Structure 1
Amino acid sequence: MGPARPGGLRRRLHAPRGARDARLGGERSDRRAGAPPARRQPGPPRRRPVHGPPRGAARRPGVRPVTRDAVLTLVSRHVARLHTRVLRRTGGRVGARWLGGDVVLLTTRGRVSGRERTTPVLFVRDGEDLVVAASNGGIDAEPQWWLNLRADPRGAVEVGGRRTAVVASAVADTDRQRLWDALMGRCDAYDGYQARVSRRIALVRLSPGGTPPPPAITG
C-alpha cells in the first residue's frame, strides 16, 4: 500500500454534506423526505418498568414490609407508655379520661416474657365489674393484653391510683350488645374499629377477686 495522498483526509472531512449523505446510503436524505422509520424486528414485546426493587434484587431475609398496622402498633405503644406514666405520677388526676371515656390501667403478665405489662384502656362499669373492649385501636391483630389474659386470666387494675386484683373472662353473648352500646355511649369510635377489622372485637369482663399476678421477673 502506497503513501497516503496529501489532502485526502482533509477532502473527506470537508466533503459536501450531500456527498457524505450519499456515502451513508441516503439515510439522512430519506429521513428529511419523510420516509417512515425502519420497522422494529419482530420479537417479544418490551416490558414497561414497574415500581419496585431493581430486577434481580432480592429482599433481605427477615425484613418485613412496613404496613399500616405495624405503624399504628408502634405509635400506640409509645402513647400507652406515656399515658401510663402520667396517670401513675398524678394518681389518676390527669389522663383519667380519654376520647370521652374513663380510663383504667390494666396490668397483665406477659405470656412469653413473664414480665408485667400495663396498658391504659377505656372501660364501663357493670356492677362491681369493669368491662373493656379488645379493640387494639382498630388494628386487625388481637391486643397483647388480651392474649396474655387468655393464657393467664389473673391481672390487676388501677383506677384513681387504687390497685385491685381481678380475674378476666369473655363477656357472655347475652350481655354483649348491652355492654357494647354502653361503651359506644362513652366512645363512638368502637363501631369504626369493628368495621375496620376482620375479627370480632372481644368484650372482656374484669371481676374483682382472685390473687394478683405473681411478682414480676427481674433481670
Structure 2
Amino acid sequence: MSNELTRPARLPPRWVVRLAWKAHRAIYRVTRGHVGLWSSKPNRWGAARLTTIGRRSGEERSVILGYVRDGPNLVTLAMNGWAESEPAWWLNLRANPEATVELASGRQRVRGRAASGEERDRLWAQWQELDTNLDAYAARRPGETAVVILEPTSDSAGN
C-alpha cells in the first residue's frame, strides 16, 4: 500500500481557509456581486450566495457556498471548512428551511433539507467525482457531514 493512500488528506491551516473565504466574500461585496459567483458544470462545482434567517437573531445571514446541480436542485456540503463544528448557515437552515440563493444566473427562493439514505450516497458520490480527497477530509470531522439539498420553491423569483 502506498503512503499516499494511508496518509490523511492535508488541509491548509484553519486561518488560511478562513482568510480565503473572507477574501472571497469581500471581493463579492466590493464588486456588488459582479465577481464571486459562478455556475456549476458537469466537472466543476459552482459558487452561490445563500441567505438564511439567523436562528437566534432572526436577521438575514449570508454565506458563499460551493454547490453542484442535481436536476433543479442545488447540492452543497455542511462542512465548515472541514472543522469539527457544524456551519452556522446549516444550523440556521435546520431551524428555518426557507432561504434565498443568489446564483451567477439570478436569485431564487429555496427550501433546504438534508439528504439521507440512497439519495445521500448518490449525491456524496457526485461530490467525490470532483474531489478525490472528500472521504479523507470528511474523516476529520467527528460526525457525518450533511449533504444539503436546496430545492427551488414555487416563489423561485426570490425577493
Query: TM-score category by the smaller chain?
Result: 0.7 to 0.9
Segments ≥4 residues shifted beyond 6 Å: none
One-letter code aligned to 2:38: A
Equivalent position of 2:81 in the other structure: 137
One-letter code aligned to 1:109: I
Counterparts in 2 of 1:75 and 1:192: CA distance versus 1, 3 Å: farther
Question: Structure 2: which 5+ runs fail to align?
Answer: 1-12
Report the 3-state secondary structure (helix = DSSP H, G, I; strand = E; otherwise coil) of the residue aligned with 1:145. Answer: helix
* TM-score, reference length from structure 1: 0.56
Q: Deviations over 1:89-132 (max 9, x none)?
A: 31x5x55279x521111111111122211111111111111111
Counterparts in 2 of 1:170 and 1:134: CA distance versus 1, 3 Å: same
**1:182: Cα distance to partner?**
0.9
RMSD: 2.8
Pick one of 5, 10, 33 that aligns with 1:89. 33
The aligned runs of 1:34-113 (5 Å cut-off) are: 71=15, 75=19, 78-85=22-29, 88-90=32-34, 94-96=36-38, 100-113=44-57
* TM-score, reference length from structure 2: 0.75
**Larger Rg over CA atoms:** 1
Equivalent position of 2:116 in the other structure: 172
Aligned partners of 1:84 and 1:118 also within 8 Å:
no
**1:88: Cα distance to partner?**
4.4
Pick one of 170, 191, 207 that aligns with 2:135. 191
Report the 3-state secondary structure (helix = DSSP H, G, I; strand = E; otherwise coil) of the residue aligned with 1:111. Answer: coil
184-193 or 158-167, larger mean C-alpha shift? 184-193
**1:162: Cα distance to partner?**
0.8
**1:77: Cα distance to partner?**
5.7
Question: Structure 1: which 5+ runs fail to align?
Answer: 1-67
Counterparts in 2 of 1:198 and 1:85: CA distance versus 1, 3 Å: same
Percent identical residues: 35
